Amino acid sequence: MNGIRILALAGASLLLAAPAGAQGPAPKAAGIESDDYVWNAEAGEKMEALDLKGDVENGEEAYEICSACHLPSGAGRPDGTFPQLAGQHSTVLIKQIADIRGGLRDNPIMYPFAITLIDPQELADVSAYIQTLPIPTDNGKGSGKDLARGKKLYDDHCVSCHGQYGEGDEKKFYPVLAGQHYKYMLRQIEDIQTGRRRNANPDMVKVVQDFTPEDLDAVVDYMSRLQWPQRQAGR
Ligand code: HEC
Ligand code: HEC
């Protein structure tokens, strides 16, 4: 374990505070707010990590620091503060972590910990490890009051990318949504609608642009109940 990681681990488990001395301010890269934005541009450490074979054992060690927030199981928290990660496609994990490290997705809480991954190999390792964790089924759900409407919206607008089980698409970098927390997903879609999530997919932005708060609640509630048995716990 390197020194930064030990420091960071102590910080994370005691206070959830930034590891002392391990970070400057997070960088800021041009994102969806800029005219020449290209989603998932083929550049940077992401491309290197995608080409490498992840070492699950080293990934498990690298994940220790992450477990302070995302939990050892990867399940995150139903209150939506920390997303569920278990069983996510390693491609999606590599992209999201690289975007956070590169300042394309703003995440000041996680940034000091994201930079404890020492190189593209370790980025591939931790992502390979997280993908092996089973997707939990006790994630946070919505109220359940408008599921028929939620299903219709999902089938009309989302299923083409996120899939009938919420399985996404590994090769296209579409995230798994099965097992994800209702509150986290609601916050993400609001951030995607308003442009706050700067690494968003422009085709998805168009789709959700005119959704009302009631639409968002219904579709996210429906999504929070999707199950993808292939990567689920207990199978
Ligand atoms: C101090 C808490 C904290 C730590 C430690 C932490 N994260 Fe996070 N992570 C977050 C938060 C908060 C978010 C969601 C931010 C948002 O709302 O956009 C997040 C988001 C993510 C996402 C995006 C998930 C998605 O569905 O898009 C990934 C992947 C991730 N973290 C991986 C990691 C890894 C790997 C580590 C360890 C190297 C780590 N995190 C350490 C707090 C943390
Ligand atoms: C054109 C394909 C496409 C469509 C259609 C689409 N999405 Fe997405 N969605 C994506 C991609 C790609 C991402 C990840 C973007 C990135 O790289 O950060 C994403 C991210 C998300 C996230 C955040 C997930 C996370 O782990 O942080 C949520 C929630 C979501 N989509 C919900 C929806 C809903 C609801 C709909 C339908 C109303 C929808 N999406 C339609 C491609 C799509």
C-alpha to C-alpha distances, 112 to 70, 102, 157, 200, 218, nearest whole angstrom: 15, 12, 36, 22, 35
Measured CA to CA, the distance from residue 162 to residue 119 in angstroms comes to 30
d(CA 146, ligand 1 centre) in Å: 30
Residue 5 has pLDDT above 70, yes or no: no
What pLDDT band is residue 14 in, cutting at 50, 70 and 90? very low
Residue 114 Cβ contacting ligand 1 at under 6 Å: yes
> Which residues have CB under 6 Å of ligand 2?
83, 95, 157-158, 160-162, 173-175, 177, 185, 188-189, 199-201, 203-204, 207-208, 219, 223
Atom of ligand 1 nearest to the CA of 116: 38
Residue 174 Cβ contacting ligand 1 at under 6 Å: no
Query: What per-residue string of b and e applies to 207-226 under the rule 16 or more CB within 10 Å gives b?
Result: bbeebeeebbbbbbbbbbbb
Measured CA to CA, the distance from residue 116 to residue 96 in angstroms comes to 15
pLDDT, tens only, 23-53: 578 899 999 999 999 999 999 999 999 999 9
- Reading the block at residue 211, the tokens are 């959704």
- Considering every ligand atom shown, identify the ligand nearest to the alpha carbon of residue 188 and give its number: 2
**Residue from 161, 173, 187 whose mutation best tests the ligand 2 pocket (most atoms within 8 A of CB):** 161
Is the Cβ–Cβ distance between 80 and 124 less than 8 Å? no
Q: Is 107 exposed, middle or buried (0-12, 13-18, 19+ CB in 10 A)?
A: middle
Residue 17 Cβ contacting ligand 1 at under 6 Å: no
Indicate which residue's Cα is closest to atom 33 of ligand 2.
Answer: 158
pLDDT, tens only, 90-145: 999 999 999 999 999 999 999 999 999 999 999 999 999 999 999 999 999 999 99
